[in-house]
Amino acid sequence: MKTILVTGSSGDIASSLIDGLDGRIYKIIGLDIKPSKSQLHQFYQWYKCDLSSSDSITECLRHGIGARLEEIDTIVHLAGIYPNTPIEDYDCDLWDKVHDVNVKSLYLIVKYIVSRKTTQLKNIVIVSSTAAKTGSKDPAYSSSKAALIGLAKSLSVSLADRNIRVNTVLPGIIDTSMSQVQSKERKQFHKEKTLAKYIGKPHEVADVITFLLDDRSSYIWGASIDVNGGMTL
């Protein structure tokens, strides 16, 4: 039985991931500010956590999850916010919040777990974005997602001697509630940039993550995997 910690567990990709996992093989710990429909699964337990707050994360890890931290085999980092805001409308508080949720939360969680005397952690899957490569009209979003790629590379190098592998998944335009903030014209623009000529579904990203959870992916270390319909060929 593997225990997986999923950040951003109420999101559409996370829900698709959890719905597709076998409860006989996996136990899921979900962290998010709000619950998800995945609560219906007996193998899933949600912990309320404001991932923009260092104090909330520490409190959740220390007093919420507590001793269960020692069970965690894998971290799947799906937490992310996308304000869809142009640079002239950004203030420092919003800029910091985007980076706190999208990047800093992962750093805090990994640091807390690997600092423990006993840990089962062997696998980290980080969900970045194609925007990390192409840029975005939302500068904080794309810069935070690019930062995740750098963090993944650094974790790959620094945690390899502990036999912890780290991989990154980079989705393109996916049909989620997050993408609904974009105009029809903008979504059509992204769609036309793909070779597939359609907007991806959450399960198409979740399926790649599921493979990275499986022992069949055991020789994949430090990879960045595009799931974007050929947008960045």
Dmax (CA) for the chain in angstroms is 52
Radius of gyration of the chain (CA): 17
- What's the CA gap between 110 and 108, in Å, rounded? 6
- What's the CA gap between 221 and 130, in Å, rounded? 19
> Which residue in the list 47, 90, 141, 198 is annotated as catalytic?
141
User: Pairing mode, if any, of strands 44-48 and 72-77?
Assistant: unpaired
Name the residue type at position 198. Y
- What's the CA gap between 87 and 90, in Å, rounded? 5
Is 82 marked active-site? Answer: no
Give the residue numbers annotated as catalytic, written as ranges: 141
